[in-house]
Homo-oligomer: A and B are copies of this chain.
């Protein structure tokens, strides 16, 4: 029995490529006292982890090579030497891109069997919680307000738009390409969706947000943020969730014109957040998200890739906009 591990082999200068990673085969580690050994079932790949590979330290700390690539996993406990976690438990843990990982009991969260484990990496995991708290706690939507969301077909964005719809808002998505945009409207009930690749992008967003923008949920930064800033209504909120336009580079662009001038004129609040600050309210959010799934008002898009060895290519493809919904890599059967 061996442990396949995907290590960071080199830090990208410019765009990320699959060969910045290497796959190694090592012995399966053992759980020490108070620890558990976990078998990875699936891992999620999010654009935000690209920021962790940039030279400057992100909230995740400075990047290093020779270590396993980080990522949240859903896993089966195959050996436990810790109280409160038993062999056979399904857990969510920071397992990274490998078959097996060892964790202190405090690092793993036991979750219920009975739903697709991948949901714990998507709608019931960080992505869903991020959509929920970012929109509701930071954005504070009111019925009838206009919510604009970028990377709207992405893991967080496709949930943000639907939660906004559920809350009675006029919802406009920005995504890459006509196909994604059509699916946002037809399958998820967005009021409109605009491709940022279109020449008439700015005018189209303005047309779709005829009453201005009350909440812009920003997953991208860059030009889309610049466009949104000019459409913000007085006392609007910009929820700064991610900066995917700036992740896959070593040379982030300047901030948008209009910051801070337009913020003053329109009394706009622009607020960065991380979901971990809402830890105490996760149960409330998961209950709400599950309820919306159960009653059919929330559709969850999962974008699956098979096999640990394909994780690097799946990440590169994700950064190029290849995914729809939460990208999951299946590593082993449940």
| Chain A interface (Cβ < 8 Å from any Cβ of B) | 51, 58-59, 218, 221, 225, 238, 240-243, 246, 252-274, 277
CA distance A255 to B266 in the complex (A): 16
Closest to A251 in B: B257
28 contacts between A and B (CB under 8 A): A58-B265, A59-B264, A59-B265, A59-B266, A221-B260, A225-B260, A238-B260, A240-B263, A240-B264, A242-B264, A246-B261, A253-B257, A254-B254, A254-B255, A255-B257, A255-B258, A259-B270, A260-B270, A260-B272, A262-B272, A264-B272, A264-B273, A267-B271, A267-B277, A268-B272, A269-B271, A269-B272, A271-B271
CA distance A252 to B226 in the complex (A): 14
Name the distance in Å between A179's Cβ and chain B's nearest Cβ.
28
Name the distance in Å between A117's Cβ and chain B's nearest Cβ.
28
Q: Cβ of A265: which chain B residues have Cβ within 8 Å of it?
A: 58-59, 272, 274
Name the distance in Å between A262's Cβ and chain B's nearest Cβ.
8
Closest to A270 in B: B270
Q: A268-B272, A272-B267 are contacts. A252–B261 as well, Cβ < 8 Å?
A: yes
B246 and A255 within 8 A (CB) = no
Name the distance in Å between A196's Cβ and chain B's nearest Cβ.
16
Q: A240-B263, A264-B272, A274-B264 are contacts. A254–B252 as well, Cβ < 8 Å?
A: no
Q: A254-B256, A255-B255, A256-B255 are contacts. A263–B271 as well, Cβ < 8 Å?
A: yes
Q: Cβ of A225: which chain B residues have Cβ within 8 Å of it?
A: 260
Name the distance in Å between A280's Cβ and chain B's nearest Cβ.
15
Name the distance in Å between A182's Cβ and chain B's nearest Cβ.
28
B254 and A257 within 8 A (CB) = yes
Q: Cβ of A264: which chain B residues have Cβ within 8 Å of it?
A: 59, 240-243, 272-274
CA distance A14 to B241 in the complex (A): 36
A261 and B218 within 8 A (CB) = no
Closest to A274 in B: B267
Q: Cβ of A246: which chain B residues have Cβ within 8 Å of it?
A: 261
Name the distance in Å between A129's Cβ and chain B's nearest Cβ.
15
A261 and B273 within 8 A (CB) = no
CA distance A246 to B255 in the complex (A): 15
